[in-house]
Amino acid sequence: MDHWKLFRPVACLSELRAEDKEAALGILVDALVHSGALDMTLRERALAALVTRERSVSTGFGHGVAIPHVRLHGLVETSASLSVLPGGCEWGAIDGEPVQLVFTVLCPERSSARHDSERHLELMRWLARLARSSDFRSRALAARSCAALIELLREMEAA
C-alpha cells in the first residue's frame, strides 16, 4: 500500500528532545510545517487538536510507542512523521512506560469517500503492527538519521 511514502524525511526527527508531551507535540508539528507536509496556516489548529486529543485520551500505545493522530479541517492530504525520543518522555501510555518512538499522523477531515476511511484504517493498523514489533522498535531506536527511519519504514512495509 506504500504507507511509508506518507512519511517525509524532513518531518522525521531522529533525536527529538522535549521536556514533556505537549512540548514534543509542538516540535513534531513544527517539523511537519518545516517539511511542507503541513501548511503554516494550519499549525495552531493541528497543535490544538493533538493536545486536546492527548488530554482526553493518551495515544501512548505501549512498548515505548505513541501514535498521536487527528483529523484536521483544511488539510488536503494525510501527512505523517516518525520521531525518536532517545531519553524517553512521559506520555501517559497504557503500560505506564515512557515513549521513545512517536508516529504523528494528520489526516484530512472525514470525507464521504469510503476509500479514504479505509486507507486511514489500513495506515493505523500498519502503525499498530509496527508498534508491537520488537524488531521494528529496536531498529528505529538505533537509526541515526531521518533517512534511515524512512528506509526502515519502507523495508518493514515490504516485508
Which residues belong to the active site?
A: 69
Burial of 107-131, coded b for 16+ CB within 10 Å and e otherwise, reads bbeeeeeeebeebbeebbebbeebb
Whether the CB-CB separation of 37 and 5 falls below 8 Å is answered with no
C-alpha cell at 55: 488530554
d(CA 3, CA 150) in angstroms, rounded, equals 11
